[in-house]
């Protein structure tokens, strides 16, 4: 994808995020959206926009690499499955950054699209971007916490995998229980590798 097209796609994504506020719920499900990776480095072309969506869910429901409950409609609504966007989920109670998501920049929040960020990207003014980064001590401690959460999630999925009711609840929208098990394994192993680096 060409850089200019990626910035246009990010603007459209910010507008779609804004439309999620119209869903009549007590608390908004989607709270913030960030971009990171090649787009912030000005790569042209780039494989995909790397985006992170911050959800109104507790950390134990948004373990690394998983697709939390309630995200299927959001994938469809934001057209994330149409290609061009690699995406991850984070809990609003966790930092948006982690071992993989490095120095992200917020492009949408409940206050609306971050016009200054989108304009800076369009003009390739990377010096104007406010990046989110951990302190030196925060990174390793946070990886350890996420690793424990990922292990707990993996054990829960493994323990429920053959339960008929659980399998029924985790099927639909093109997703199957196998997807949940694979994501739990992959998320745990990814964090295990990050801890060991």
Q: Is the same domain home to 10 and 89?
A: yes
Residue 142 lies in a domain: yes
DSSP 3-state helix, strand, coil percentages of the chain (rounded to 5)?
Answer: 50, 15, 35
Q: What beta strand segments (E) does 73-116 contain?
A: 85-91, 105-109, 112-113
Q: Is 50 in the same domain as 98?
A: yes
Same domain as 165, residue 89 = no
The pLDDT of residue 51 is: 98
The verdict on 14 and 49 lying in the same domain is yes
Query: In the Cβ-directed half-sphere of 182, how many Cα atoms lie within 13 Å?
Result: 5
Report whether 80 contacts 192 (CB < 8 A).
Answer: no
d(CA 5, CA 10): 9
Cα angle, residue 19 at apex, residues 18 and 25 outer, rounded to 5°: 105
Longest Cα–Cα distance in the chain: 53
Q: Residues near 125 by Cβ (< 8 Å), separated by ≥ 6?
A: 119
Per the domain annotation, does 133 fall within a domain? Answer: no
Domain final residue pick, 89, 105, 128: 128
**Bridge partner list, 53:** 33, 89
Q: 120 and 72 in one domain?
A: yes
Query: Has this prediction a pTM greater than 0.75?
Result: yes
Q: How many separate domains does the chain show?
A: 2
Which CATH number does the domain housing residue 35 bear? 3.30.460.10
Tens-level pLDDT at each residue, the chain (197 residues): 999 999 999 999 999 999 999 887 788 999 999 999 999 999 999 999 999 999 999 999 999 999 998 898 999 999 999 889 999 999 999 999 999 999 999 999 999 999 999 999 999 999 999 998 877 677 777 788 889 999 999 999 999 999 999 999 888 878 899 999 999 999 999 899 988 87
How far apart are alpha carbons 117 and 115 in whole angstroms?
5
Q: Within this chain, do residues 52 and 121 fall inside the same structural domain, yes or no?
A: yes
Q: Tokens 């980064």 belong to which residue?
A: 133
Q: What pLDDT is attached to residue 86?
A: 97
Q: Which domain holds residue 167?
A: 138-196
103 and 49, same structural domain? yes
Beta strands in 27-117 (DSSP E): 30-36, 49-55, 85-91, 105-109, 112-113
**Same domain as 112, residue 145:** no
- Bridge-based pairing of strands 105-109 and 30-36 is antiparallel
pLDDT score of 175: 85
Query: Is 147 a domain residue?
Result: yes
- Candidates 53, 60, 40, 56; CA nearest to 152 is 60
* Domain shared by 56 and 120, yes or no: yes
Give the per-residue pLDDT at 133. 83
Whether 92 contacts 55, CB under 8 Å: yes
């Amino acid at each position: 994808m060409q850089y200019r097209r990626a910035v246009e796609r990010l603007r459209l994504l910010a507008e779609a995020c804004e439309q999620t506020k119209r869903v009549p719920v007590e608390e908004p499900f989607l709270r913030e959206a960030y971009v990171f990776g090649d787009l912030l480095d000005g790569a042209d072309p780039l494989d995909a926009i790397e985006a992170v969506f911050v959800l109104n869910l507790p950390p134990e429901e948004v373990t690394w690499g998983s697709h939390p409950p309630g995200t299927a409609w959001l994938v469809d609504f934001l057209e994330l499955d149409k290609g061009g966007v690699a995406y991850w989920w984070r809990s609003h109670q966790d930092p948006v950054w982690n071992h993989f998501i490095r120095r992200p920049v917020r492009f949408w929040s409940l206050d609306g699209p971050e016009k200054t960020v989108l304009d800076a990207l369009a003009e390739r003014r990377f010096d104007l971007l406010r990046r989110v980064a951990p302190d030196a001590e925060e990174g390793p401690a946070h990886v350890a916490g996420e690793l424990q959460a990922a292990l707990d999630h993996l054990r829960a999925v493994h323990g429920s995998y053959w339960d008929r009711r659980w399998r029924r609840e985790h099927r639909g929208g093109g997703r199957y229980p196998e997807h949940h098990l694979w994501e739990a394994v992959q998320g745990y192993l990814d964090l295990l590798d990050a801890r060991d680096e």
